[in-house]
Amino acid sequence: MDVRHRPHTGRAPGVNPPARRKVIIVGGVAGGASCAARLRRLDEDAEILMVERGPYVSYANCGLPYHIGGVIPKESSLLVASEQVFREQFAIDVRTGCEAVAIAPRARTVDLRNVATGEVTTESYDALVLAPGAVSIHPPLPGIDLPGIFHVRTVPDARAIREWIERGTSFLTGMFNYSGIQAIKPLRRAVVVGGGFIGLEMAENLVHLGFDVTLVEMLDQVLAPLDREFARIVEAHLVRHGVHLALSDGVAAFAQREGGVLEVQTKGGKAYPADLVILALGVRPDTALARAAGLALGERGGIRVDEQMRTSDPHIFAVGDAVEVKDVVTGRWSLLALAGPANRQGRVAADVIAGRDARFRGTQGTAIVGLFGGAAAWTGVNEKTLQKLGNTDCEKIYLFPNSHAGYYPGAKPLELKVLFRKSDGCLLGAQALGLDAPAVDKRISALAMAIQMGATIYDLEEAELCYAPQFGSAKDPVNFAGMVAADVLRGDMPLAHWTATNGTFLLDVREPVELAVGSVPGAVNIPLGQLRARLGELPRNRDIHVICRSGQRAYMATRVLMHAGLRARVLSGGMMSRAMLVVTEDTTASHPGWSPAPAPPAPAPQTR
């Protein structure tokens, strides 16, 4: 991973400017709009034409679920920059409702079709930037185009969903016209298909709108980038907030029943009635234009580009959700539909077109999703991917620190998993959960930068981070992760995991009163304070795995045992990591980091 800084150098003094170049950008939103604005700031003379087949050139599609749920009341708040802004502030020719339908790479021309009239015109270019984005996956299932079934991809999508909620089926009609004396309303039902970002965000917002929500997911977990034990905790959190989960079951068909009510039929033979269905099956790169132009596509189906966002044609660039990117941790090609990388790619393409030596470093998939007041976030590679790749040079630790100093009111536990290389301590990935969402964001963002800079767990030990009791701890969770991992690699804290305890002697060093909360069958309880006086009760010819609540007392006990010549290991994360395995088997189970919530109240009468 090359993380060296590459300075951007402008035009040398006294050098005549090049002839006026014409740049056409196909697609706006994140990558295309970012490229257009950046290019104008770098080159005042360039002729820039940006075309967008939709009605809006730049909008916040990440905010669509929250607009549907009413968190963002005004649709106009989602519009980042209008045609007028691009024209007046950037002198960019913007054409909405204009679709690029064909590229002639040798002639360097592109055919543009007016969506409203069908008229086709041809424009020449010196450089062409493709930012077509991705299209929602829309499988050819029976009934998938029935009224009341929606994708959540564009502003018009969100508008249509809001309108349907207000006056869709005969059941929904008039739901916003109940008077104050009509205290009881029939429950509205929604089915969300897909357990990724959009699916979970839509499930949450529909619950807030008073819907009874069922989420159907073909995989055996939600949020595929999380490892399974963390995903199970998220699932339990969803269930406690009223979301019904149907995992490991794909949709087979949709049907319409009496009164316009929909029915979602699954491959497992289940049928879920719904007044509204949200399709959140993910996206695929929109590569039709690139494929027709003969541009190279990658193994994952996206447009193949180099570090400077050039395609196989040196005069054509591509950015955003349509391109394949290199995973900086695994070195493999991947698809990543996130706004942050798309914006950075747009800037890189603009810099290169303007003559600068800019390069896109790749991505590590850093992301976060908010759910019912909490958050789940991750960066880098997860454990299941490392296992799939056959990577055995890795270790993991589990931590359960507070979001800030425990003595300051409001501290909440975080659940943190950190992956690193055993050979050199290089940080590989991290995942975090917690009900203090900003605290989750803060730690994963710090760890994401550490991965980007090629940091090791030893660097985390020494990281200098902000501290005040309401924001963190003197030993921040990021520092704490580095210290624990460094102890593991230095041999100060031999580690074991709950998946490998067969045949070992289990020693529980918690206080007896704690065993009432949870205990491990067959474990011997010797409280930490009594351990030195009772060393003779422990075997010298067996491995001893030491248990406590979260790992701290087990570490202290392990040091005592090692100094006494015993073979001891800390069970990583203690009883709290074991609880994650319990949650893995039972999504209704509780876990300290995501405390149980009361069942959602019956929806109050709504008026509009």
- Positions marked catalytic: 62
For residue 490, the Cα-to-chain-centroid distance in whole angstroms is 33
DSSP-assigned letter for residue 519: -
Instruction: Supply the DSSP string of 78-143, one letter for each residue.
Output: GEEE-HHHHHHHH--EEEESEEEEEEETTTTEEEEEETTT--EEEEE-SEEEE---EEE-----TT
Q: The tokens 């009900």 sit on which residue?
A: 435
Other CB atoms closer than 10 Å to residue 526's CB: what's the count? 20
Q: Exposure of 441 by Cβ count < 10 A (0-12 exposed, 13-18 middle, 19+ buried)? A: middle
Q: DSSP letter string over 177-216? A: B--TT----PPEEEEEE--SHHHHHHHHHHHHTTEEEEEE
Asked if residues 453 and 3 have their Cβ atoms less than 8 Å apart, the reply is yes
Tell me the CA distances in angstroms from 306 to 156, 314, 325, 363, one per residue in order.
34, 10, 9, 13
Name the region of 108 (left: φ>0; alpha: ψ -120 to 50; beta: rest): left
Contact by Cβ (8 Å): 15, 101: no
Q: Would you state the structure tokens that stand for residue 65, as one six-digit string?
A: 């679920």
Q: Give dist(CA 313, CA 197) in Å, integer.
A: 34
Rounded to 5 degrees, what angle do the CA atoms 345, 57, 107 make?
65
Q: Which helix (H) or strand (E) holds 578?
A: helix 574-585
Q: How far apart are the first and last CA of the chain?
A: 55
Supply φ then ψ for residue 296, to 5 degrees: -70, 135
Which pairing describes strands 568-571 and 427-434: parallel, antiparallel, or unpaired?
A: unpaired
CB contact at 8 A, 350 and 386: no
- Residue 592 and residue 431 in contact, taking contact as beta carbons nearer than 8 Å: no
Residue type, 532: R
Torsion sign over Cα 113, 114, 117, 121: negative
Give the position of tokens 């009223």.
242
Separation of alpha carbons 43 and 84, rounded Å: 20
Taking the C-alpha atoms of residue 473 and residue 567, their distance in angstroms, rounded to an integer, is 33
